[in-house]
Structure 1
Amino acid sequence: MELLKLHLIALFLLPTSTLGFNKCNFPAIFNFGDSNSDTGGLSAAFGQAPPPNGATFFHSPSGRYCDGRLLIDFIAESVGLPYLDAFLDSMGTNFRHGCNFATAGSTIRRQNTTIWQSGYSPISLDVQYLQFSDFITRSQNFREKGVFQNLFPEEDYFSRALYTFDIGQNDLTAGYKLNMSTEEVKAYVPDVLGQLSHVIKLIYGQGGRTVWVHNTGPVGCLPYVMDRFLVTAAQIDKHGCSSPYNDVSQYFNLKLRELVLQLREELPAAAITYVDVYAVKYSLISQAKKLGFENPFVACCGHGGKYNYNRFIKCGSKTVVNGTETVLAVSCKDPSTRISWDGTHFTEAANRWIFDQVVGGAFSDPPVSLKFACNKMNTSQK
């Protein structure tokens, strides 16, 4: 019922008509992010996400930490474009309609650690931007030489493309892994968002004009967070999530929304949409059973414990017993009934439900659907 109300409110808030706006015809998508939108970057660099990842839709590992499609895949489908290949993948890739620079474990600002120590990717947002900038130059050089022309975007695609951002969640958990308090994590949020702002401005300088920014989801509802950071009963809200960790997510999102408003003033030709995926994901988790899902805190693919999650035995992990290889962390029988895939990421079924809520603009500022997101609006929700 609450979601229906929000949808109706959004309809009334839409510009008198999207009748006066042009439907967007995005020729390409360029994505920046972490595991929530990684379609193969980390797998290409550090080894493929093992089966049963990919089993539901792709029927084999696809570089995604999910049983199937991610939000970015549904975004590509909805605008009539192919799924995005990862920039780091050298096997059978086609970048004509865009490129994905996201890698699982990525953060906005660089981490003073290695992926082997902390799990965070060395491909932070500034590196993703450098890859993008290099991609622009080199792709056009190849096209001018007549080499692989059909595998790279045409020059005007960059100004007409959709630029998507889904990153920041790992910046928050990074502080907790260093035993910082919630207040200490909040204290560095402005610096994190300052670096995000810098990259968006650089992309604008390269001609990018349509930006679709997801805020960060409710970190305190993720099984791996509740398991890793030993959440106490007193910290659990009425829906089973950890309030302190969700509090820092909401603070990050508040500051991110303020940043988007500021960027609209500083980048006058840009159409920047802020998408509240936090509200959608929290609604999904809090209404899981009503929406046909099982316990939202039990991972589909995992091993043992309260949440079927063990950070040392992740989805697809194997061991050898008496000379026989055995998979320790296997998939549940029906991933479509689960919200959490592996304790950290969402299932395809959950991703599809989330996408269906956000694509129409009901959770966006301005409240405009994806198909009209290239139109710059003069008003913003307050």
Structure 2
Amino acid sequence: MAIGGGVPSLPCLALLLLLVSWNVGLLAIARGLPPCEFPAIYNFGDSNSDTGGISAAFYPMGSPTGETFFHRPEGRASDGRLITDFIAEHLGLPYLSAYLDSLGRSFRHGANFATGGSTIRRQNESFFENGVSPFSLDIQTAHYDQFVARTSYLYKNARAEKFRRSRLPRPEDFSKALYVFDIGQNDLAAGFRKMTNEQLNASMRDIVSQLATAVQHLYQQGARTFWIHNTGPIGCLPITLRYIRNPMPGYLDEIGCVKDQNEMASEFNRQLKGMVMQLRGELPEAALTYVDVYTAKYSLIANSTRAGFERAGKMCCGYEWEDKHVWCGQKASINGSEVVAGSCEDPSIFVSWDGVHYTEAANRWISEHIISGLLSDQPNVPITHACYRL
């Protein structure tokens, strides 16, 4: 279902979801394949899947984040749950605790190494200037190595301390866990700030190669099941579109997104998919699933009204006045008056939470369409059967 061939309508997408899920179900039954029993999830990524890492590392994320589901800030850049949370729910596992947030957390069923602002390649930019996290993907995998070594030692030496053991992962579970990647959007965003499109395009191979290195490293440590998200349509983000005035013909696509930015995201995704296919041949015991999150997000934006999202092109949380923008939850002085950027009355009718991240309602919609296997390439395998090489 290529975007270049036209975006499917919501009814068509729903029909395809039904047919593909039905066919995958028949395939699994015919082969006698029961659902995988994942004891844990280990996630690597950026703010699209960060469940509290960057908040613990720098400063607590404040209101109104988390208001819809958690009813308090829980380190997520949304009003509620993320795709990562819906994946955990679907697999019957607890929400992932952030590795960097150790207070009162249990890591028996996995850990989240993602942090807001993370990139695949290290960036020479400050988190406080441009929101780029120092925890790039190589640092996240180093954190994983430390996590495995430290928890395995503690588990082995806990002995009769049942409470302590109950919060630690079982060493034998690391090879049975699901390893999720959702990262790359910030590499593109940094490229748009610092490079020409030609330079960014030339850097794609190295960016994707470094993600491949992370997968290979985890495989060498015993990981076997990988669920790899591609990057979304960055040219459709409201924070990008708000600065556009009188665009030249052809600058925006048919649904009003920045065309060249989405083309760059599509090129990244093309190379990422090629990398996944190559790794399938190089890692004989690995099951690697490439997940087309781009199509899910673009389809939602293109068909938002029929999906029940009345304010698809606007952000729920934030404040805009003329050429000024105040980020969600922040304060600013405008014309001598203090302004607090609060949230909208009903986040469920918005696709975008804060101009960059998605609302819980949008995350739920996207999750339903990727978890089912409709948009995965392994071939079309649902997440419940991702441990098999089909």
Mark yes or no: TM-score above 0.5: yes
Please report how far the alpha carbon of residue 64 of structure 1 lies from its aligned counterpart in structure 2 after TM superposition.
Answer: 0.2
State the distance in 2 between where 1:86 and 1:304 align: 32
Q: CA separation in 2, counterparts of 1:230 and 1:94?
A: 49
2:125 to 104, 113, 138: 113
Which residue does 1:7 correspond to in 2? Answer: 17
The residue aligned with 1:203 is: 218
Q: Does 1:240 align with 2:256?
A: yes
The 8 Å contact of residues 311 and 349 in structure 2, kept in 1 or not, is answered as no
Give the distance between the partners of 2:141 and 2:243, measured in 1 at CA: 31
What's the offset of the Cα at 1:159? 0.4
Q: Deviations over 1:77-124 (max 9, x none)?
A: 000110001000022111010000000000001001221222100000
Tell me the equivalent position of 1:263: 279
* Structure 2: segments with no counterpart, 5+ residues: 1-10
- Higher mean alpha-carbon deviation, 86-95 vs 130-139, is at 86-95
Matched position secondary structure for 1:193: helix
Distance 2:146 2:329 in 1: 35
**Residue 193 (structure 1) aligned with residue 208 (structure 2):** yes
Deviations 1:222-267 (A, max 9, x none): 0122245778253111211111100000000000100000000000
1:89 is aligned to 101
Moved over 3 A (4+): 11-16, 227-231
**CA distance, structure 2, for counterparts of residue 17 and residue 71 of structure 1:** 26
Letter in 1 for 2:156: E
Distance (Å, rounded) in 2 between the aligned partners of 1:256 and 1:231 = 34
Shift of 1:10: 2.7
Query: What is the match of residue 5 of structure 2?
Result: none
Partners of 2:15 and 2:198 in 1: CA distance: 34
For residues 294-319 of structure 1, give each alpha carbon's deviation from its aligned partner in whole angstroms, at most 9, with x where no partner exists: 2322100011158x982xx2100125
2:236 corresponds to: 221
Residue 124 (str. 1) matches residue 136 (str. 2) = yes
Q: Provide the secondary structure at the position in 1 that maps to 2:148.
A: helix
Cα separation, 2, equivalents of 1:231 and 1:360: 40
Identity in percent: 48
- Other-structure match for 2:388: 375
Q: CA deviation at 1:4?
A: 2.8
Name the structure 2 match of 1:182. Answer: 197
TM-score normalized by the length of structure 2: 0.91
Report 1:93-172 matches (<5 A): 93-146=105-158, 148-172=164-188
Separation in 1, partners of 2:246, 2:202: 21
**Structure 1 unmatched ranges of 5 or more:** 378-382
Q: 1:73 aligned to 69, 80, 85, which one?
A: 85
| Cα contact 1:236–1:242 (8 A) shared by 2 | yes
- Aligned partner of 1:18 in structure 2 is 28
Distance 1:129 1:18 in 2: 32
Paired residue for 1:285, among 274, 292, 301? Answer: 301
RMSD, matched Cα = 2.0
Give the whole-Å Cα distance in 2 for the aligned partners of 1:63 and 1:233.
39
